[in-house]
Structure 1
C-alpha cells in the first residue's frame, strides 16, 4: 500500500509539471509582451505567480518544508507590492520586492528540479520539468538583471524607463543571453552586468549536456530495476 501511494504521489507531482510549464510559457511569452505594450498591468504577473505557487504547493511540492518556503516567498512578493501602504523608501521597497521575487523563483525551480531529476522512470513529464528549469534560469537571471538595473548606474544601454517595459525587455535580454541569441537593442555596460550575462550564457551551453546525461542515467537505472 505504501509503495502504491508513493507511486501515485510521484505521478501527481510529475503531472503538475505540465501545468507549471503552461503558466510559465504564458508569463514569459504572452503576458510579458502584453504588459510591455500596456495591454495588461504589471500586477497581472503577480496573479500568474499565485497560480504557480498554488500548483507547486498543492501538487508538486512533496514536503511540508518546501511548501512553506514557496508560500512564504509568494506572500512576501505580494506584501512588497503593496508598498504604498507601508510607507518605506522606494529603493528599500524595490530591493525587498525584487529579492523576494527572486527567492520565489529559486524555490519553485528547486522544487521542480527535485521532481524532474529524482529517482524513477523517465517520463514525458520529467522532460517537461527540464524545460521548466531551463526557462526558470532565464526568469531568475532576469530578476538579477532587474536588481542590477535598479541599483547600478548605467548597467544596461537602451533600457526603457517604465517598470513594465523594463520587465519585458530584461526578460528578453535574459533569454537572448541564455540561448546566445543576443539581447536585441539592450547591451550590458556595467562589468557586473556583463559578467552575469556571460555566466547565463555558459549555463545555457552546459544545461542541455547536463540534462541529457541525467536523463540517460535515470533511463538506464529504470531499465536495470525492471530487469
Structure 2
C-alpha cells in the first residue's frame, strides 16, 4: 500500500505544473463561460477550483522548498480559503475587499512558487513548459484581482461602456487584464486613476518581457544538454 501511495505522490509532484495549468484554465476561462454571474453552482465550483489551485501551489513548494517558504504560503492559502468558507456561512461578516485582498495575496504567492519551479535548473519537460504557460495565466489573474480591488476602493478609476451596469463582475476584470497583458488594447475599458494606469502599464510591460525571458531561460537549459549529448553527430 505504501509503495502505491508513494508512487501516486511522486507522479503528482512530477506533473504538478500540468495539473496547475488545467485547474487555472478551468477556473479562469471555462467556468465563466458555462455559468452566469452570481450563480450558486458557479460560485461553489469557483471556490473549489480556487482551493485546488492553492493546494497545487503548496505541492509545488513541497517538491523543493520547506519550512521558511512553505509555512507562510500555507498560512496565506488557508486564510484565503477560510475567508471564502466563512463568507458562505456568514455573508455579511466579510467585505468584498477582504475576500479579494486575500485572494490576490494567495494567488501572488502561488505565482512566485510556480516561477521558482519554472525557472529552476533542470531538464526542459512538458511539465516545465506547462508551468510557464500557467504562470502567464496566473499573472493575468493576479492583475484582474488587483483591478477589482482598485475599482472597489475608487469607483471612478476606470471608464468604459461595459462598466455602465456593473463593476463587480469578475469576468470583466479577467477580460481587461488579459487584453492588457497581451497588449491588444480594444479601448472599451480605459484606466483613468493613477493607480489603475500604473497597474495597466506594469502589466503591459510584463506581458511583453515575459515570453522573451521564458524563451531565453528554456533555451539556456536545453543548449548545454544538447551540446553534451554523446550521440550528437
Task: For residue 177 of structure 1, report the CA deviation from its aligned partner.
Answer: 0.2
Greater mean alpha carbon deviation, residues 13-22 or residues 216-225: 216-225
2:57 aligns with 56
Task: For 1:135 and 1:169, locate their aligned partners in 2 and report how far apart those are by CA, in whole Å.
Answer: 16
1:129-144 equivalences in 2 (<5 Å): 129-144=131-146
Q: Does the Cα contact within 8 Å between 1:14 and 1:60 map onto a contact in 2?
A: no
SS of 1:64's partner is coil
Say whether 1:176 aligns with 2:179.
yes
Task: For residue 112 of structure 1, report the CA deviation from its aligned partner.
Answer: 1.3
1:85 aligns with 90
2:166 aligns with 161
1:29-108 equivalences in 2 (<5 Å): 29-37=29-37, 40-58=41-59, 61-62=62-63, 63-65=65-67, 66-81=69-84, 82-83=86-87, 85=90, 88=93, 93-108=95-110
Task: For 2:120 and 2:110, locate their aligned partners in 1 and report how far apart those are by CA, in whole Å.
Answer: 15
After superposition, the Cα gap between the structure-2 partners of 1:69 and 1:183, relative to the gap in structure 1 and judged at 3 Å, is farther
Task: For 1:219 and 1:10, locate their aligned partners in 2 and report how far apart those are by CA, in whole Å.
Answer: 24
Say whether 1:24 aligns with 2:27.
no
Q: Which has the higher helix share?
A: 1
Q: Does the Cα contact within 8 Å between 2:51 and 2:81 map onto a contact in 1?
A: no
For 1:176-226, what per-residue CA distance to the aligned partner results, in whole angstroms no more than 9, with x for missing partners? 000111256322222221221121111111111111111111113434665
Q: TM-score, structure 2 length as denominator? A: 0.80
Q: Does the Cα contact within 8 Å between 1:141 and 1:174 map onto a contact in 2?
A: yes
Task: For 2:115 and 2:225, locate their aligned partners in 1 and report how far apart those are by CA, in whole Å.
Answer: 18
After superposition, the Cα gap between the structure-2 partners of 1:12 and 1:38, relative to the gap in structure 1 and judged at 3 Å, is closer
1:107-146 equivalences in 2 (<5 Å): 107-146=109-148
After superposition, the Cα gap between the structure-2 partners of 1:36 and 1:204, relative to the gap in structure 1 and judged at 3 Å, is farther
Task: For 2:158 and 2:181, locate their aligned partners in 1 and report how far apart those are by CA, in whole Å.
Answer: 17
Unaligned residue ranges in structure 2 (runs of 5+): 1-8
Q: TM-score, structure 1 length as denominator? A: 0.82
Unaligned residue ranges in structure 1 (runs of 5+): 1-8
Q: Does the Cα contact within 8 Å between 1:13 and 1:60 map onto a contact in 2?
A: no
Q: Does the Cα contact within 8 Å between 2:61 and 2:70 map onto a contact in 1?
A: no
How many residue pairs align between the two structures? 215
